[in-house]
Amino acid sequence: MPSFECANCPKKFESNALDARCVRCGSALFLSSAGTTNPSRAEVESLPPGVWRFRGFLPEVADNHIVSIGEGGTPMLAARRLGEEMGFQHLLLKDETRNPTGSFIDRGSTVLMSLAKGRGVKRISCVTTGNLGASLAAYSAKAGVETEIRILPNTDHGKLYQMIAYGARVEILSRTPHKVRPEADAISISAANPFILEGEKTTGLEMIHDLGWKQPDAIVVPVGTGGHLAMIWRSLLQLHRGGLIEIPSCKLIGVQLQASAPIVEGLQASRRMASDEKPLTELEESEPIFKRAAVESIRESGGYGIEISAREAIQGTSLLARTEGIFAEPASASVVASLKLIKDGGLLDPSDTIVCVITGSGLKDTKTIKILSRTAKHVVTREDLIIKPVQMGRTKLKILRALSDQPCFGYGIWKALSKERSITTASVYQHLSELEGIALIRRSGVVRAKGRERILYEITRKGAEFLKITRSREGRFVVD
């Protein structure tokens, strides 16, 4: 039976639950009984690249229960151009955007869903702002496990589309996540799940393997919950206990946005650096559930906590893309933005070997894409993006008007239209497909109605603008 230790109190206990929480204080947990086999270097290197190369450090999973879609084995890239610009001679990037869903969380999802498959789990549930939901949806699809995901209204559409594509049932919340309860037969999963953390631990294991079983001078990590950073430090300790490396000697540097920097605030002044800029835009933030563990990891490593602004994070996204060809979301590119503070503050020597962990792809962050496109040198003109008046039938106009009141699924639209005229459901869905194809409507989620899952449609801003045009130009449209 797995053994756990609480992240926030001294409690230790055993449990078989995949969604276990501390029995004393209800906090998140670390798994304390994984990886007791202490594999040798030769045993690790005999396995193919990826998360499961390090299975000797992970919870035990039978071969036929492993749920994998090619996670891990991400490249360690020499960042020469970025290093020259930032003043570091040996700058490396651990590019986690290469994972199947574009996020380091895939490392954790493969472990969790493999255990879930082995235990015959049929359904999981989670509340998420994006990357976790996309990753769990993909691995659940591979495992044949039903997934229900609840998201906040400000979740980026790039991540929402991933969840829908993988077949998850998505519900948009109108209240705060901590008040939401999963359905009775579903296992509730969060980013703080101890088995997800075990998979994320392989980021550190893989870095050391990539460097020929040597440690860098520093590892720079974006801080969300604090769990990833803490697990990277734990991976180094575990490698040392297994005799694979010397005593951990590399500094951990945790980077947070100013709007959410309690981990940085938890460090002594001598271990803090901060920018004086203020955030200019809203970026995804995570509650630092593992604040205590992250602070302890940074202190034990002799590292630092750094705060940056949202503007600096977006500038880091642009700089990383144009110097090294990697497009990261701002939360990930924060590590790039932090390099200037590290250099100016003399926290690291220019000759040090530094690894920046790039945790997630910017292709899923449509908000940042829009911001960057405004300052790009070569962009499509505004005229190319405007939807010009086209011949549009009354049915399509009625659909747009119906959706301008509130989102609705196709069957509901058909019921409303069929009260006025005879029309088939197939015809309604054809109209919906055509409207979606010219970006006047979009899919906003999946709802369950009368035992069936239905796609929820909503009007886009372009669709709303198009409706305004039609009010004064009704005579230009034909009846379909």
Confidence of residue 178 (pLDDT cuts 50, 70, 90): low
Check if the beta carbon of residue 110 is closer than 8 Å to that of residue 122: no
Confidence of residue 447 (pLDDT cuts 50, 70, 90): low
Per-residue pLDDT tens for 182-236? 566 789 999 999 999 999 999 999 999 999 999 999 999 999 899 999 999 999 9
Strand ranges of the sheet holding 408-409, from the earlier edge strand across to the other edge: 408-409, 452-459, 441-449
80 SS3 class: helix
Class of the CATH domain delimited by 394-476: mainly alpha
Confidence of residue 261 (pLDDT cuts 50, 70, 90): low
pLDDT given at position 155: 84
Do the domains 35-60+70-101+197-370 and 394-476 sit in the same CATH topology, yes or no?
A: no
Angle at 107 between CA 133 and CA 246, to 5 degrees: 145
Check if the beta carbon of residue 480 is closer than 8 Å to that of residue 459: no
pLDDT at 377 over 80: no
pLDDT at 410 over 50: yes
Per-residue pLDDT tens for 235-258? 999 999 999 999 999 999 999 987
128 SS3 class: strand
Per-residue pLDDT tens for 338-347? 999 999 999 9
Which residue carries 């604040």 as its tokens?
Answer: 291
Where is 124: in which H helix or E strand? Answer: strand 123-128
pLDDT given at position 10: 93
At 327, phi and psi to the nearest 5?
Answer: -100, 110
pLDDT given at position 476: 41
pLDDT given at position 376: 59
pLDDT given at position 177: 53
pLDDT at 390 over 50: no
CA distance between the termini of the chain: 65
Confidence of residue 389 (pLDDT cuts 50, 70, 90): very low
Per-residue pLDDT tens for 60-71? 999 999 999 999
Class of the CATH domain delimited by 105-195: alpha beta
Mean pLDDT of 101-123: 97
Residue 235 CA to residue 208 CA, distance in Å, equals 9
Mean pLDDT of 320-332: 95
- Each domain of the chain, given as residue ranges in start order, spans 1-33, 35-60+70-101+197-370, 105-195, 394-476
Mean pLDDT of 466-480: 55
Query: Residue 360 has what DSSP assignment?
Result: B
Radius of gyration of the chain (CA): 24
Identity at 108, one-letter amino acid code: G
Residue 365 CA to residue 160 CA, distance in Å, equals 10
Residue 237 CA to residue 201 CA, distance in Å, equals 11
User: Would you state the structure tokens that stand for residue 338, as one six-digit string?
Assistant: 């932090």
Strand ranges of the sheet holding 272-274, from the earlier edge strand across to the other edge: 76-78, 90-95, 353-358, 218-222, 251-257, 304-308, 272-274
Class of the CATH domain delimited by 35-60+70-101+197-370: alpha beta
Angle at which helix 131-143 crosses helix 157-165, to 10 degrees, equals 10
Check if the beta carbon of residue 257 is closer than 8 Å to that of residue 310: yes
Residue by residue, DSSP assigns 446-477 as EEEETTEEEEEEEE-HHHHHHHHHHHT-GGG-
